């Protein structure tokens, strides 16, 4: 009987705990969304933690507890962008295709699509942090973290092509990584954010750029197309 009496209490405590976790996760998501909006509207340097908290409808204390600092909020917003907009993280979907596809062109096409998906949220944030890094040491450290993570991810992606024997002769793994870095960020910023290109056009051009730069015969097809 004693167990029967205590059981509902334990159930309620578990329920209350899970409810608090959900509420905290929802507040955390609001902070990330608010921070992104504030950063893009006012810039990284001008944005303050109290401003983010007010926009998100949470306390300043919650922001510091959940993210430690303004840089922590920006890093969380960037990490969220890397997840993409699908039901599974973009990196997971990328690795699945890269590890199973027999045609390297399928891998490159998938990368171009995922690059557009991730860059839609990530590229504007990266661009403003890069600009802020010119005048703010904290932003510089944050941007360095972004770039290191990007280099590591593109080295990971490059290994699929190099280890699979898909790249044209003479290309090193480091060169493949660097080419992917250009396609994964700089092209989107320049063509979509800077020039107003449509997403589908960016995907097609990025795919053809990667094919010409990385795959055997790419140099020939690139010359022929001019």
* Nearest by Cα to 126 from 142, 112, 113: 142
Residues 56, 90 within the same domain: no
**pLDDT at position 60:** 97
**pLDDT at position 130:** 94
Residues 209, 135 within the same domain: yes
Inter-CA distances, 221 with 171, 176, 208, Å: 17, 18, 10
Local structure of 109: helix, strand or coil: helix
Residues 88, 5 within the same domain: no
CB 100 within 8 A of CB 211: no
Residues 170, 62 within the same domain: no
**pLDDT at position 220:** 40
Residues 96, 198 within the same domain: yes
Residues 90, 172 within the same domain: yes
Range of the domain at 92: 83-226
Asked whether the predicted pLDDT for residue 160 surpasses 90, the reply is yes
- pLDDT per residue over 78-133, tens digit each? 999 999 988 899 999 999 999 999 899 999 999 999 999 999 999 999 999 999 99
pTM metric for this prediction: 0.82
Asked whether the predicted pLDDT for residue 172 surpasses 90, the reply is yes
- pLDDT per residue over 53-84, tens digit each? 999 999 999 999 999 999 999 999 999 999 99
- pLDDT per residue over 7-26, tens digit each? 555 555 555 677 888 888 99
Local structure of 226: helix, strand or coil: coil
Summary mean pLDDT of the chain: 89
Residue where a domain terminates, one of 36, 68, 100:
68
Residues 185, 118 within the same domain: yes
Backbone angles phi, psi at 165, to 5 degrees: 70, 30
């Amino acid at each position: 009987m004693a167990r029967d009496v205590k059981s509902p209490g334990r159930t309620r405590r578990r329920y209350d705990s899970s409810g608090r976790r959900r509420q905290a996760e929802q507040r955390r998501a609001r902070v990330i969304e608010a921070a992104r909006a504030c950063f893009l509207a006012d810039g990284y340097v001008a944005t303050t933690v109290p401003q983010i908290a007010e926009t998100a409808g949470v306390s300043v204390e919650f922001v510091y507890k959940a993210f430690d600092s303004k840089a922590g909020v920006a890093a969380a917003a960037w990490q969220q962008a890397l997840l993409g907009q699908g039901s599974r993280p973009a990196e997971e979907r990328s690795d699945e295709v890269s590890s199973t596809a027999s045609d390297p062109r399928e891998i490159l096409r998938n990368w171009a699509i995922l690059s557009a998906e991730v860059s839609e949220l990530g590229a504007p944030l990266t661009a403003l942090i890069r600009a802020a890094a010119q005048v703010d040491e904290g932003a510089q450290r944050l941007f360095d973290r972004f770039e290191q993570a990007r280099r590591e991810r593109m080295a990971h992606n490059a290994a699929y092509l190099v280890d699979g024997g898909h790249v044209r002769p003479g290309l090193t793994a480091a060169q493949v990584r660097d080419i992917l870095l250009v396609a994964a960020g700089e092209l989107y910023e320049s063509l979509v954010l800077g020039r107003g290109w449509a997403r589908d056009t960016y995907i097609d051009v990025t795919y053809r750029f990667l094919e010409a730069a990385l795959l055997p015969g790419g140099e020939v097809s690139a010359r022929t197309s001019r």
